[in-house]
């Protein structure tokens, strides 16, 4: 089976990691039964070595996306619209005219698009009469406030050649409400590589180490966690250490740092920056926090769980699908910093919850969100869809 797999433009966070796990897993579990021809944006050409071991061929071409996240600064918005539209238009022409020089479409059985933000997959599916599996990894509006260069994207998704794969029931229901035909979209949770649960023997009841991992953006709401810690009394503050790991919007990052300074939290909160392989450090923490307004799946959430962290997450998005309240961690009302602070205080008051809930979280992640389980579902989908 020959599959043309189309990458999105991300190279650091959830979507790109999910794609890498998929490519690697298909190669390891099914060998030559699935041959992947990977199309990546030209700007990611320096990352091609990451994929070459799992693909028959990696193709780099200039292409853009018809769907774009709205920038944090309103002043930047009109500039982004112009630049991204030019990239999208040039990319569309480039793919239409020149991609067939790099790949023989009569040998391709199936197209798999990794992102809901590009229309390359459906364009090629229509042009060469191929079936398309289209991964939907975000809400688009409620999480990243996206804007579109074309208004017919729901019709594109409902095309007879497509099958949409949502990463959670929450995402699936959201897109059905936006107009997707229900039998066109199914749910397959992302898969995470199984990791050994952290060693709780090293936990001696010292300051609780909290991790907030992911891209720095307004959608991820790092500000809420800083505000929650600021609400605590001095003794409670002295019992926690927070590391914010990731990079992203510089203006929002600047606001976060000003907030830390305003509340005199310099000894409590640290900004670590981007870490290429965060799975190597997650096990050093006790608690993982997710404050996102609309977490489509929560790859980071499951990475916390896989390493045995107690998870505190907002009640929005897919968090309530992933985390069992009072079993794996705590769910708080999104935007309610006092409620978030109370969850952290509860952990401080009973630190035995860390190994208890963390162990439960690890077991659930291994049983329900393993990479192998995800890959087997993807392969079955390929087999049934061709």
Q: Are residues 364 and 378 in the same domain?
A: no
Q: Are residues 214 and 103 in the same domain?
A: no
- Tokens for 301, please give them: 């959430």
Of 149 and 206, more confident: 149
The interaxial angle of helices 222-230 and 250-262, nearest 10 deg, is 0
**Residue span of the structural domain in which 252 resides:** 200-368
Q: Are residues 282 and 340 in the same domain?
A: yes
Q: Are residues 261 and 160 in the same domain?
A: no
CA dihedral 274, 276, 282, 287 (to 10 degrees): 30
Residue 300, pLDDT score: 93
Q: Are residues 330 and 232 in the same domain?
A: yes
Q: Let me know: does 110 contact 385? Beta carbons within 8 Å.
A: yes
H helices, E strands: number in the chain: 13, 15
Average pLDDT, the chain: 92
**What's the pLDDT band for 205 if we cut at 50, 70, 90?**
low
Instruction: Flag whether pLDDT at 364 surpasses 80.
Output: yes
This prediction's pTM:
0.90
Q: Are residues 293 and 306 in the same domain?
A: yes
- Tokens for 231, please give them: 């609400």
pLDDT (mean) for 359-365: 95
Please write the tens of the pLDDT for every residue from 26-41. Answer: 999 999 999 999 999 9
Local structure of 13: helix, strand or coil: coil
Q: Are residues 137 and 253 in the same domain?
A: no
| Beta strands across the sheet bearing 185-187 | 57-61, 35-41, 2-6, 110-113, 131-136, 162-166, 185-187
Of 256 and 9, more confident: 256
Q: Are residues 40 and 51 in the same domain?
A: yes
Q: Are residues 136 and 241 in the same domain?
A: no
Q: Are residues 38 and 186 in the same domain?
A: yes
Distance CA 367, CA 194 (A): 10
**What's the pLDDT band for 376 if we cut at 50, 70, 90?**
very high
Please write the tens of the pLDDT for every residue from 244-275. Answer: 999 988 899 999 999 999 999 999 999 999 99
Distances (CA, A) of 6 to 225, 255, 334, 358: 36, 35, 34, 36
Percent of the chain scoring above 90 in pLDDT: 78
Residue 37, pLDDT score: 97
pLDDT (mean) for 5-22: 82
Q: Residue 163 sits in a domain of what CATH number?
A: 3.40.50.2000
- Tokens for 385, please give them: 């869809």
Residue labelled with tokens 């990731």: 246
Distance from chain centroid for Cα 244: 17
Distance CA 314, CA 89 (A): 38
**What's the pLDDT band for 203 if we cut at 50, 70, 90?**
low
**What's the pLDDT band for 324 if we cut at 50, 70, 90?**
very high
Sequence-ordered strand ranges (E) for 62-176: 67-68, 110-113, 131-136, 147-148, 162-166
Residue 69, pLDDT score: 86
Distance CA 335, CA 221 (A): 9
How many domains are contained in the chain?
Answer: 2
Nearest to 292 by CA among 376, 217, 236, 193: 217
Q: Let me know: does 114 contact 85? Beta carbons within 8 Å.
A: no
Please write the tens of the pLDDT for every residue from 109-125. Answer: 999 999 989 999 999 99
Residue labelled with tokens 């990352």: 47
Q: Are residues 48 and 109 in the same domain?
A: yes
Q: Are residues 379 and 290 in the same domain?
A: no
Instruction: Flag whether pLDDT at 11 surpasses 80.
Output: no
């Amino acid at each position: 089976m020959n599959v043309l797999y189309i990458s999105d433009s991300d190279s650091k966070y959830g979507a790109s990691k999910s794609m890498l796990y998929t490519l690697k897993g298909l190669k390891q579990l099914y060998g030559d039964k699935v041959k992947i021809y990977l199309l990546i944006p030209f700007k990611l050409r320096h990352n091609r070595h990451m994929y070459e071991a799992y693909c028959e061929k990696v193709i780099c071409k200039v292409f853009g996306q018809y769907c774009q996240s709205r920038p944090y600064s309103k002043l930047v918005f009109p500039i982004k619209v112009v630049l991204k539209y030019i990239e999208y238009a040039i990319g569309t022409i480039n793919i239409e005219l020149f991609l067939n020089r790099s790949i023989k479409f009569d040998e391709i059985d199936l197209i798999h698009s990794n992102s809901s933000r590009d229309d390359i997959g459906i364009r090629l599916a229509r042009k060469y009469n191929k079936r398309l599996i289209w991964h939907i990894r975000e809400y688009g509006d409620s999480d990243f406030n996206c804007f579109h260069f074309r208004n017919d994207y729901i019709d594109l998704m409902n095309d007879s050649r497509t099958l949409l794969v949502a990463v959670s029931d929450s995402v699936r229901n959201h897109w059905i409400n936006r107009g997707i035909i229900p039998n066109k979209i199914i749910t397959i949770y992302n898969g995470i590589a199984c990791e050994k649960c952290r060693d709780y023997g090293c936990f001696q009841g010292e300051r609780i180490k909290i991790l907030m991992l992911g891209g720095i953006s307004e959608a991820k709401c790092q500000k809420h966690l800083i505000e929650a810690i600021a609400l605590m009394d001095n003794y409670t503050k002295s019992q926690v250490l927070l590391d914010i790991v990731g990079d992203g919007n510089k203006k929002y990052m600047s606001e976060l740092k000003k907030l830390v300074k305003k509340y005199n939290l310099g000894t409590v909160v640290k900004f670590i920056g981007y870490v290429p392989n965060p799975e190597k450090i997650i096990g050093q923490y006790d608690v993982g926090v997710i404050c996102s307004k609309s977490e489509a799946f929560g790859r980071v959430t499951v990475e916390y769980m896989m390493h045995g962290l107690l998870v505190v997450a907002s009640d929005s998005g897919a968090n309530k699908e992933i985390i069992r309240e009072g079993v794996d961690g705590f769910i708080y009302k999104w935007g309610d910093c006092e409620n978030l602070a109370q969850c952290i205080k509860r952990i401080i008051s009973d630190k035995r919850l860390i190994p208890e809930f963390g162990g439960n979280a690890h077991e659930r992640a291994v049983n329900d969100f393993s990479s192998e389980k995800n890959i087997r579902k993807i392969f079955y989908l390929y087999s049934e869809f061709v």
